[in-house]
A and B are shown apart, each in its own frame.
Chain A
Amino acid sequence: MGSSVYAVEAEGLVKRYVVGGLMRPKRVVEALRGVSFRVSKGIVFSLLGPNGAGKTTTINILATLLEPDGGEARVLGFDVVRERWEVRKRIGVLLSVERGFFWKLTARENLIYFGMVYGLSGKDLRERVDEVLDVVGLNDLGASDKLFEEMSLGMKARLGLARALLRDPEVLLLDEPTLGLDPPSSVYVRKLLRSLAEKGKTVILTTHNMYEAEIVSDKVAMIVGGRIVIEGTPQELKKIVAKKVPVEVKLRGTIYDGGEGVRKDLVKVLGRPVYLKFSRDNDILEVRIVVEPGEEERVVEKVLRVSQSRGLRVVEAKVLEPSLEDVFIVVASSGGKDGGG
């Protein structure tokens, strides 16, 4: 075992969580319902999907932290269940950008601790730690000797990446590496991931940010409700909506159910999937619909009527350039259940 043209192969991964028990009723959550994908070496691959889609579960299985209930997965040809240790030696993992370190140690001390746990020692260890601190730019920021508890989220994310790089792994598994970061930090992390892929590493990341997936990835797989609904390069995926017109209407008014009622009405009237984003801060409900060219006016009119009947005011209506978000709207409705965003 252990030689493969692919960095990662997942075949029909199934995972069920049993929740409840101990006084509460038992319930089975089907987190993965047969997830398959392949990742070639040396690329950035994004697993894109809404909250609860199964991204973290997939990463945990690939990282040998969770045993699947069905299916198989291999990293660099090694089975994640039967050849766990072979996999572990070859991967770098980031599971959260805000946690995962000792608060009372500095960035460098944390890396030295984990380096030793990973089997590095002596001069090798110290040099390697300094190297990865350089790679992620913490030395440049002068943050290498800052206590973890005093670091900004952006610095913590870089430190998490530094630890993932400690053993110079071939494959990086990163769960939402830019979650909650300010824009400059996100930009930095994305650039770093691109440059790592250019140096031959395979970067597998998860994100719910469509824009991020589009600009950072060589390949994207959309996961919804525990299933991969579509896979391809961002360009390939965007072809699906190339000839379509995304329409966005912003509504304002009193909304109690996060817009679910409006969505049901719209789906009934329009007979097509509708994507909503509700912001509680300013009570604005964004309605996004993908339509055929020439249909825009008719659709907007219908949206107007529905919103009037629900006592909502139209703040803005516009036509947009197609993006991955629209691919998601189109394919998510035909695949699993809509997660919202």
Chain B
Amino acid sequence: MEAVRAALLSFAAEVYMSVRVYKNNPSMLFTSLTWPYLMVFVILVLGSSYGSLDEFSRSLGVTNPIFFLFAASGIAFTAVSIVDYGASFAAWYRWLGVLPYIVAGTPSLPAYLAASGLARSLLNVALTYVSITPAVILLGGLESGVRMIIVIGVLISGMIPLVGLAVVAAMLTVMVKVESDVLSFINPLLLLLSGVFYPIALLPDILEVVAALVPISYIVEASKIAAAFEAAWGGRLYSIMYILGLMAVAYNLVGLISSLRLERSIYLRGSAA
């Protein structure tokens, strides 16, 4: 089928582009690999002005705070980055001027969006993993390293519903057509709702409901479970995967409808050019 081939080739194209961009600009690769460390450093410095690390782990309900911070902040940012990619995709590609060539060139825009979004997500996951695994093993031993693999598995499954959300975000930016990042508030909001930096239970009720609908909080929950050395983690992880699976189906359906809508809007208003 044309759409399947288009999806596979779009996936390959995205991977090819990312690898080449890093190859041509090694300093970008360095930045991508070191930012989780910067993040954790900033959080620790900020956090220590409010209270001890022990208090932090008690309020978030984790027993291994450093492992949790590395895993969870890396994960939260990776997860947010894909929605951010969706939200900035249209504006950024239009600014570069590549959007019309993609729209008029791909045999299937939904296939292109889903496949390139997925490729980006997996690349981001891989980079995060490569970046934080040494620190995790150093701090928590080999067992933590094994636990990271579980967390990464959850992360990848969590990325699939997020690709759907990313496509919705892409549609919204094209529809609104205001270049200044309309959706720039989305990143801080998603990070707040992720539960990494602030316990979700302490958020206002409405935000708690929203957080329950955003896949990121479940991914973070999973990394908490993996970090907490709890006996019952297997069962809880299973229910999280179940929820993420349902979300993947739901959000990608909405994403598909959005991408068809997006195509229509681009065409009617010429918003690709």
Which A positions have Cβ atoms within 8 angstroms of B? 56-57, 60, 63-67, 84-85, 88, 91, 93, 95-96, 99-106, 109, 112-114, 116-121, 147, 163
Contact = CB atoms under 8 A, between A and B. Distances in A.
A116 B12 CA distance: 8
The secondary-structure label for the interface of chain B is helix
Interface residues of B, number: 31
Interface stretch (B103-111, B128-136, B231-239): B103-111
Nearest to B103: A65
Contacts, number: 97
B9 A121 contact: yes
Closest 4 A/B residue pairs (Cβ): A99-B97, A66-B270, A116-B13, A100-B97
Contacts of A105: 17, 20-21, 24
Given A95-B273, A114-B101, A85 B107 contact: yes
Contacts of A118: 105-106
Nearest to A22: B178
12 contacts: A65-B267, A66-B267, A66-B269, A66-B270, A85-B107, A93-B104, A95-B100, A106-B24, A109-B16, A109-B17, A113-B16, A117-B105
B21 A114 contact: no
Given A116-B13, A119-B5, A60 B273 contact: yes
B104 A109 contact: no
A100 B101 contact: yes
Given A105-B17, A117-B102, A67 B97 contact: no
A96 B103 CA distance: 16
Contacts of A119: 5-6, 9, 106-107
B144 to A, nearest CB: 35
Contacts of B112: 117
Nearest to B6: A119
B272 interface: yes
Contacts of A88: 104-105
Contacts of B105: 88, 114, 117-118
B24 A147 contact: yes
B268 interface: yes
B6 A100 contact: no
Contacts of A65: 100, 103-104, 266-267, 270, 272-273
Contacts of A121: 9, 12
Contacts of B12: 116, 121
B180 interface: no
B31 interface: no
Contacts of A67: 267-268, 270
B96 A102 contact: yes
A21 B263 CA distance: 22
Given A106-B24, A113-B16, A119-B107, A163 B101 contact: yes
A120 B272 CA distance: 23
Contacts of B25: 104
Nearest to A88: B104
Given A65-B104, A113-B17, A118-B106, A102 B270 contact: no
Determine which residue in A93, A117, A118, A120 has the highest number of CB atoms from chain B within 10 A of its CB, and name it.
A117
A282 B107 CA distance: 51
Given A65-B272, A119-B5, 10 more contacts: A56-B273, A60-B270, A67-B267, A95-B100, A95-B101, A99-B96, A101-B97, A104-B20, A118-B106, A119-B107
Given A105-B20, A147-B24, A64 B104 contact: yes
A100 B98 contact: yes
A16 to B, nearest CB: 11
Nearest to A166: B105
B101 to A, nearest CB: 6
A64 B96 CA distance: 20
Contacts of A101: 96-98
